[in-house]
Chain A
């Protein structure tokens, strides 16, 4: 067993080594920013599905006839009225 003062010195030096060695908050943030600035190689499938769904909704909305026009175009004759004489 080593004398307590030797253990205390080791603990103190290890504490300083840790403080000097560990990644600082600024360094950690630099690494994070550098990583996020790199484009991901592939976008995930759900991103693509969502984009297609959004485009599809937009096309449907843009090309849908107004409600008034829809009802005007709907035949009002009773079924079977054509050809009845």
Chain B
């Protein structure tokens, strides 16, 4: 009898508590629809309760999020003029006080709870979603592959040299997002290439390295503030790449080569050893053909058997030794954050104003 009583009591109790939880869900978790207005125009109706970032994706606006919407890269900035909630801790870390004062928010941190009004730059509105097919995959250095993707019939991609694409990978519980710089010639609009370094335990890089020719992936873009300034094509330029940070520089060089190198261009490529160096022969040949283009590969830890006779040391040290002060009017730097900081310090010491140094970090 007592056992029956215990079982009945526990059941009743659990049912009551479950009822309480579902009631609170209905009351607290706002459900229903909300309108999103972008630049004064209604963009669409979305479900409440999700992040503004994913809500915008549903309305066809693709924002950059190199960190995959975790709130650490600070790239999904939008100006929210109405309907946002309080500022989140990660936003306080990633936004400057001027940006906060200008009502800038990180879309991945804002939850849609009511109708939202926002301002998005036209450049971001140009980014589109594409389903692309892998047409070739070539191993160009140790753990680095150059993957060439073809767009669907009738589609074209317009990007500036130095910009990047976001690649999606659908996991059972979420959609992973990673950013990869476009390494192809921007004049080719029906296809593009990405240089992907396989990272130990890396989700996306492992997936992309295993991708077979003919398989399709979802990408969106182009994004990125670091791109070759049209004015810079008439000025001496220095390009500094660390490892696979060469990707955006390859795109820039393709563009500069098209103009026939009308100005001095210097490419510094820093890697650990020769097996990490890629397209070395191609750039050496280019340097032989065009006297205005110079190529300086720098190895920080060359192996004895490689017989390396070129520059040794970290790329910023080589830059310090070989770059003439004030010989360049713009610099583009891409690589791991510590390398970029060191390179920026050297360039500033050489007399280049910080406003003329364009950087694109690829780790968050």
Q: Do A and B share a complex? A: no
* B residues apposed to A, CB below 8 Å: none
